[in-house]
Amino acid sequence: MQKRYLSIAILTVVLAVAGIVGYLLPSGPVAGDKEPATRRILFDNAGGPVVFDHQKHSQLLKEDCATCHHESLQKTPDKALACASCHGVALDDAFKAGHAKSYPQESCVTCHHYTLAARQWGHRQHAEDFGVDCTSCHHADTGIEPEPQNCANCHDAGARPAWKAAEPGTPPVLADAVHARCATCHQDMFGKAKGCANCHELKPTRKDAEAVKGKVDPLYADCTVCHVQKSADKLIPGRMDAFHGQCMGCHEKLGKGPFGKDKCAQCHTK
């Protein structure tokens, strides 16, 4: 009698373990699935593993992949990158060096989303409308500049702004020289990305919602060219912050699912 109960107990434990393992392990697509992405995904982390039901979320939201996989505006699953492809554990030098080679070209425009086009500038407007004297912008020191001339004659016009003081004896690049002069009167226009539009035409590298076009301009490839007050690691959240922001932000917006900091156990299992 005891042996029979022991056998039943062992079988029950084995079936329970198999069931748990089968639930936690990621599973592939089933026959008839239109979405080739993994149905369930296991995220293992120090806070406890999270089982994400990819297929359920996709069916409930009835949205295209770009709702969560925002790196591409294409609506097909094969264009969606894994979150970890963009949001690394740390935005260190190795990540920066490797991402340019590992990303598909159409994904570059997610972060490098603008190119600064022609400057909206006029000498006559400043001189006649605002009464600005030439030496207010050009060097008053005739030893540097005997007469006002084209700034690009001395300042490198092909380099991106460094947003820092030039080395003594070396003329700053044109962008830094112009920004420094303009800022003496227009300080309110500097410091935020949207301020660039006051002088520059912003050309979006994403043209429409159906297709991703445009290439990254090397002159403006560095985030800090426009986002002066924020470093790249502040603009691109790490993996944990990206997941939390995406998941909890969506839950809070819809008013469904866990999104408060006291609801960790509803996603994380231990």
Q: What is the pLDDT along the chain (270 residues), one digit of tens a residue?
A: 455 566 666 666 666 655 555 554 544 443 333 444 567 888 888 888 888 888 888 777 776 677 787 766 556 666 677 777 778 777 777 777 777 777 777 777 778 887 777 777 778 888 888 888 888 889 888 888 898 899 999 999 888 888 887 888 888 999 899 888 888 888 888 766 777 888 888 777 766 544 555 667 777 777 877 787 677 777 888 888 888 888 898 898 888 888 888 888 888 887
Determine the topology of domain 118-204 in CATH. Cytochrome C3 (3.90.10)
Predicted confidence at residue 71, as pLDDT, reads: 67
219 by Cβ neighbours in 10 Å (0-12 / 13-18 / 19+) ranks as: middle
Determine the Cα–Cα distance for residues 38 and 74; give it in Å rounded to an integer. 18
**To which residue do tokens 């392990």 refer?**
25
3-class state of residue 40 by DSSP: strand
Q: Residue 115: which of 220, 224, 226, 228 has the closest Cα?
A: 220
3-class state of residue 126 by DSSP: helix
Predicted confidence at residue 211, as pLDDT, reads: 53
Q: Phi, psi (5° rounding) for residue 21?
A: -60, -40
Residue spans of the domains in the chain: they are 118-204
**pTM strictly above 0.85:** no
